[in-house]
Amino acid sequence: MRKNYYIISDGKLMRDENTIYFENEEGKKPIPINTIYAIYALGSLSITSKAISYLAKEGVCIHFFNRYGFYEGSFYPRESLISGEVVLRQAEHHLEKEKRLYLAKAFVEGSILNMARVAKKSGEDDTDIISTLQSLYDAKSIAEIMGIEATARNAYYEKFDSILKELKFEKRSRQPPENEVNAMISFGNSLLYSAVLSELYHTQLNPAISYLHEPSERRFSLALDLAEIFKPLVVDRLIFNLVNNRIIQKDDFDREMNGILLNENGKRKFVKAFNERLEKTIKHKDLNRNVSYQRLIRLECYKLIKHFFGVEKYKPFVIWW
């Protein structure tokens, strides 16, 4: 079974025969190619041309993060699952206003319902989050939809300090994060975006054609769309668990750039828990079998393809547990 590999320390990736090696000051470690699903480079990583050529041939994405844990970019191998018809249908749903609005609303609806579920399961009142749905259904533009999503998320974030037993959230802050909880949210969201991008690579979808976020030359904006649905399940619940069980504490952070960021030890703890969450399985109520959280993301991609071809109208994934 292929797995995600997280490289936190500085080093070098190289190829020897059918094996990829990671070398750093501690030595040289083999990583057989048939065990690699995606690589997350969280340290300073050098890669030989032989290694990157081999990884590309095997369809392995590499996601790069800077020393502060912020996402920098991805090595996205040449797509092997190419379908001109899928791309045309995907573009059609972006260019036609009503079709785009439907999908943008669906992504935000999924995000709102999942935020409400997480809040309620944490013992909080979800009424103020759910109440934003009516405005969402009445929205007439992407800007209006984005504004409603922000309103719902602010209502959701106001509950964090009640849910968290140790560290305080206070308010959302980014680049740089002003406290420990914001540092974990930013880091977790970057990891999730990369995980969604890995799943998109294994489908026929074009990751640059999006519906809620505007397409951009410098980012795969469809991954941003899909990540909105999964942030409450994957990132937020993970943070609550790490903080309330004292797995991550104040000494797992350093002050950098007038802000707070996870240090190397903190990143190791977070990455370990994040990967365990992606591998965690649940009994899918529609498929009647166990699927991993990571597989749930792929299934969401397949649902979009069915929607584009008129097979089944897209409905966002909503947590039921």
Q: Considering just the CA atoms, what is the radius of gyration of the chain in Å?
A: 20
Tell me, what's the pLDDT at 217?
Answer: 57
- pLDDT tens-digit map of 85-105: 999 999 999 999 999 999 999
Tell me, what's the pLDDT at 78?
Answer: 76
What b/e string do you get for 68-84 counting C-beta neighbours within 10 Å, with b at 16 or more? bbebeebebbebeeeee
Report the alpha-carbon distance of residue 296 to residue 282 in Å, rounded.
10
Report the alpha-carbon distance of residue 100 to residue 137 in Å, rounded.
13
Tell me, what's the pLDDT at 286?
Answer: 84
| Most distant CA pair in the chain, distance | 59
Tell me, what's the pLDDT at 80?
Answer: 67
Which single residue is written with the structure tokens 């944490």? 122
Tell me, what's the pLDDT at 154?
Answer: 96
User: What residue type is assigned to position 60 of the chain?
Assistant: V
CATH number of 3-75: 3.100.10.20
Tell me, what's the pLDDT at 218?
Answer: 63
Tell me, what's the pLDDT at 255?
Answer: 87
Tell me, what's the pLDDT at 215?
Answer: 86
CATH number of 84-308: 1.20.120.920
Tell me, what's the pLDDT at 145?
Answer: 98
Q: What are phi and psi of 294, to 5 degrees?
A: -65, -40
Residues of the chain with pLDDT under 70: 80-81, 217-218
In the chain, residues under CATH classification 1.20.120.920 are: 84-308
C-beta separation of 206 from 221 below 8 A: no
Report the alpha-carbon distance of residue 35 to residue 61 in Å, rounded.
13
